[in-house]
Amino acid sequence: MKAGFYPRLAADGIRKNKKLFTPFILTCVGMVMMFYIIMYLAVGDTLASTFGAETLRLIFDLGSWVITVFSGIFLFYTNSFLVRRRKKEFGLYNILGMGKGNIARILFWETFIIALISVGAGLVGGIAFSKMAELGMAKVTLNKVSFKLSISLLAVKRTVEVFGAIFLLLLLSSISSVQFSSAISLMRSENIGEKPPKANWFVGALGVVILAAAYWLAVTIQDPITALLVFFLAVIMVIIGTYMIMIAGSVTFCRLLQKNKGYYYKPGHFISVSSMAYRMKRNGAGLASICILATMVLVTMASTTCLYFGGENSLKCRYPRDINIKLNVTGTYGATGDLAGRLGAELDAMNIGRENGYWFRAFSFYGCLNGTVVEPRTSNFVSLDGIKNIYLISLEDYNRVMGAGETLAPGEALLYTTHGGYKGDAISFKGGSAFRIKKRLKNFLEDGETAMNMISSIYLVVPDPSDASKGLDGLADFNGDRLLHSDVIYNFDTGKEPRAQTALMDRLTVYLRDGEVKERLGFNSFSLENREQNRQDFYGLFGSLFYLGIILSLVFIIAAVLIIYYKQISEGYEDQARFDIMRRVGMTKREIRRSINSQLLTVFFLPLGFAAMHMAFAFPIIQKLLLAFNMDNLPLFAATTGISALVFALFYLAVYKLTSNAYYAIVSGAKD
């Protein structure tokens, strides 16, 4: 056999089946390009000197793993369409005398050609757009980069390795699907599954139960820690439940339509419903995949957009004032009494002006809430379930900072909670004090550290924190350190420009580190934070998440479009013969178009409806996860969710229009 025979035969096969291969190759090119760009941003040297570079690199490195896993799964899925469509051709080769080994050589060269084109074009596109991507990321993360085009050899190497491995696995999968099939089964591959599947009520009902359980988890979780732990379990349950419902439930749905004689025995519905009934088991898996991808797009777009556009609100929540000082005192609550006054005097002596300032004292400790009793955690955390951060604030400090006039009798307390409520009317400390909840507060003192803490917090405003903390003073935590922390929070605005604030921060840092100052003021340790210094790190985090969300959304959308396209194309070829027969017995093109619209509308918008339902039930748990980023702007999240759903629905309609025309072109030209 002449050299180059198999490569030429493989190239001819790709060219003659360009309607199937072109979208697949373009998708592979897009996946390679996206992966290279993400890896370029993750390992490139251009971000090494930017503020928050480690945060950006970590996020994009995680994104590269998401692209890797998703590309492998998705390309396997779409490759199955190609193999199934080509099996008849391979069966013909086998009947004409070509052995399975020869067919494997053709598959090797086809895969090699596709891999070469995909990786080559993807790398060229990735390199060409990498600088644009870097500049776009620098814009949303408030960073500055050079305009010099560079190529990351490490990103190129990893891209080739990842997609080389993926295409190798695709080749092995294609060869095995042909190798273990006889020539007759290959020739009849397009007719496999023509026997209508039976409606499986048990699988469908089990899918409903699993999906309902996932929804229940999503809407009943109250704190971010639990939401973070349960989220991935809920996602897996939603995926499993969706596939079970779509596969088993869609068959049942077709059976119910067939039993409805008034609907079924009409020219526009008869062919569409009967065609769907024969292939609904396989069709259900495709619909479920589209549904899951649509949900992923909505979740990714809504959450990352909310984080980015709500970044300023989160920043102010984390850093309430320009300068945020926290002084830790070793000793009782009384030892903090004059510390704020002494610090204020020192700042006056340094000519540091202060605006919108406030200060308060707090006792704090970790405890495990069992009913209405808080048990101080003196041992290591085995589980975060029930763990609370307890704060004791004096009534005097609360009234002074909040401008309130609350009063409390002995044994009474005011209650405020974050990241999860407390419903009891009383609360007590094991071996210590007990309080009756007089009032639940809606607003409280601004404390950036609490906003950052994912563990839910309970603030108790009490008449005397020293008295309330009796029984806790002598306890030590699991590290042997004093369980009870006594702190003074002192925050103020400067009215200065960012550069002046940075200079002031440097001055205060040197000042507070001085041993004589510590001894004179009477504090043990300190933390000092500036909003402007952390602004870029904040926007680096939220901006990179937003940017990664855009890239992943594009990848998911491309995947959904390709699944829809192959679904329409494969079903169009399967339905050619049926519509050709109906046309010969008198069915007009108008009736064919009406039947096609009936079939597509019956199932095409089912994934979109399910995706919207998934997003509606996922809304509460995603909101809890956003609290971990200090994002508690519910109206903004609702708005980004609604806009994301609307934009995706319009895009989905456009895809429906294009793919339905492709389907119609195939079935209406069956005679040709």
Same domain as 335, residue 188: no
Q: Is the model's pLDDT at 112 over the cut of 70?
A: yes
User: In this structure, what token pair is assigned to residue 443?
Assistant: 């607003």
What angle separates helix 201-220 from helix 224-244, to the nearest 10 degrees? 160
Final residue in a domain of this structure, among 441, 460, 493: 493
Residue 262 φ then ψ, to 5°: -65, -30
Q: State which residues form the domain around 6.
A: 1-192
Same domain as 334, residue 188: no
Q: What is the pLDDT of residue 194?
A: 46
Strand-pair partners of 461: 393, 414
Flag whether 37 is in a domain. yes
What single letter denotes the amino acid at residue 32? V
Strand-strand pairing, 457-462 and 412-418: antiparallel
Flag whether 124 is in a domain. yes
Final residue in a domain of this structure, among 192, 209, 228: 192
- pLDDT per position as a tens digit, 470-525: 777 767 666 666 777 888 888 888 888 888 888 888 888 888 888 888 888 878 88
Q: What is the pLDDT of residue 598?
A: 65
Closest CA to 427 of 401, 452, 474, 390: 390
Q: How confident is the prediction for the chain on average, in pLDDT?
A: 77
Flag whether 342 is in a domain. yes
Flag whether 379 is in a domain. yes
Flag whether 224 is in a domain. no
- pLDDT per position as a tens digit, 386-426: 678 888 888 888 898 888 888 888 888 898 887 766 778 88
CA distance 636 to 470: 44
DSSP state of 476: B
Q: Is the model's pLDDT at 53 over the cut of 70?
A: no
Flag whether 20 is in a domain. yes
Q: Is the model's pLDDT at 303 over the cut of 90?
A: no
| Reported confidence tier of residue 168, pLDDT bands at 50, 70, 90 | very high
Flag whether 552 is in a domain. no
Residue 454 φ then ψ, to 5°: -75, -25
Flag whether 239 is in a domain. no
Final residue in a domain of this structure, among 164, 192, 220: 192
The number of folded domains in the chain is: 2
